[in-house]
């Protein structure tokens, strides 16, 4: 028997959202102080305007990168690389795409490249993991990430396959519409919705197991 694909997706996505709302998956603060004039000035080479962009989005980018990367300690490097690429590409930015969607598209590309490199490196070495962890300072954005998302949530997110986790983070956490995520990733909306559903269901299962 053939089932209509959209109905269960909507129902399950709603149930997942309701369940996950009980866990600390806070949405990052929006860059409310950033306007189109700042972006226009940055396109023309205004360093102060570009600095304002970095300050507005840095914390959100760090959070996304730490959730996406196989090695979360690479987050700062990837975010810096993202802003370097952003600075170089700004003169070509066209307002047909929302600025922050364009920024997170660049960030996503950087994270995927880093994950591929990390996987290749890991497959070539048999060394044990380092027996220490970097302790973030109070001012370190990583400390904010660790504080806002519990250990259970971070472990559960890490178990979600990367191809589903990225879409879940972009849509559920960062608030991009399916239309925007389709433009950012090139993946059709029907597939995007299924990936968000699968990520939500997996998170719900993992978090439920941890609270039994």
**Nearest 10 degrees: CA dihedral of 40, 99, 71, 165?**
180
Give the pLDDT band of residue 208 (cuts 50, 70, 90): confident
* Backbone dihedral angles phi then psi of residue 97, each to the nearest 5 degrees: -115, 135
Q: What residues does each domain of the chain span? A: 34-119+141-148, 150-212
Helix boundaries (H) for 27-140: 36-43, 47-68, 75-89, 99-124
Q: Is the pLDDT of residue 24 over 60?
A: no
Q: What is the pLDDT of residues 169-178, one digit of tens each?
A: 999 889 999 9
Note the pLDDT of residue 92.
92
- What CATH topology corresponds to 150-212? Arc Repressor Mutant, subunit A (1.10.10)
Is pLDDT at 124 greater than 70 in this prediction? no
Q: What is the CATH number of domain 34-119+141-148?
A: 1.10.1740.10
Q: Is the dihedral of CA 174, 177, 178, 181 positive or negative?
A: negative
Reported as a pLDDT band with limits 50, 70 and 90, residue 100 is very high
In a 10 Å sphere around its CB, with 0-12 CB exposed, 13-18 middle and 19+ buried, how is residue 135 labelled? exposed
| Residue range 151-185, pLDDT digits in tens | 778 888 889 999 899 999 999 889 999 999 999 99
Output the pTM of the full model. Answer: 0.72
Confidence grade of residue 148 (pLDDT, cut at 50, 70, 90): low
What mean pLDDT do residues 21-46 have? 71
Nearest to 141 by CA among 72, 70, 93, 189: 72
pLDDT band at 10 (very low <50, low <70, confident <90, very high): very low
Cα separation, 77 vs 117, whole angstroms: 14
Which range has the worst mean pLDDT, 44-48, 102-106, 113-117? 113-117
Distances (CA, A) of 189 to 13, 181, 192: 14, 8, 5
Ramachandran bin of 68, using left for φ above 0, alpha for ψ from -120 to 50, beta for the remaining angles: alpha
Q: What does the alpha-carbon distance between residue 155 and residue 146 come to, in Å, rounded to a whole number?
A: 11
**Is the predicted pLDDT of residue 147 greater than 70, yes or no?**
no
Mean pLDDT of 206-212: 70
Question: Which CA distances in Å does 199 have to 13, 25, 111, 131, 170?
Answer: 10, 14, 18, 31, 12
């Amino acid at each position: 028997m053939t089932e209509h694909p959209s109905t269960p997706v909507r129902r399950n996505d709603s149930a997942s959202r309701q369940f996950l709302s009980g866990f600390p998956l806070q949405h990052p603060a929006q860059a409310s102080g950033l306007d189109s004039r700042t972006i226009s000035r940055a396109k023309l080479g205004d360093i102060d305007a570009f600095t304002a962009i970095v300050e507005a989005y840095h914390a959100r980018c760090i959070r996304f990168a730490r959730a996406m990367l196989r090695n979360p300690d690479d987050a700062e490097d990837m975010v810096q690389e993202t802003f370097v690429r952003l600075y170089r590409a700004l003169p070509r930015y066209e307002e047909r795409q929302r600025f922050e969607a364009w920024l997170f598209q660049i960030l996503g590309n950087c994270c995927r490249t880093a994950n591929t490199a990390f996987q290749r490196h890991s497959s070539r070495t048999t060394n044990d993991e380092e027996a220490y962890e970097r302790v973030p300072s109070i001012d370190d954005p990583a400390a904010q990430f660790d504080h806002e998302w519990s250990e259970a949530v971070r472990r559960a997110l890490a178990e979600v396959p990367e191809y589903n986790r990225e879409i879940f983070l972009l849509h559920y956490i960062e608030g991009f519409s399916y239309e925007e995520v389709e433009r950012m990733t090139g993946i059709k909306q029907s597939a995007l919705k299924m990936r968000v559903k699968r990520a939500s269901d997996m998170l719900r299962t993992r978090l439920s197991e941890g609270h039994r």
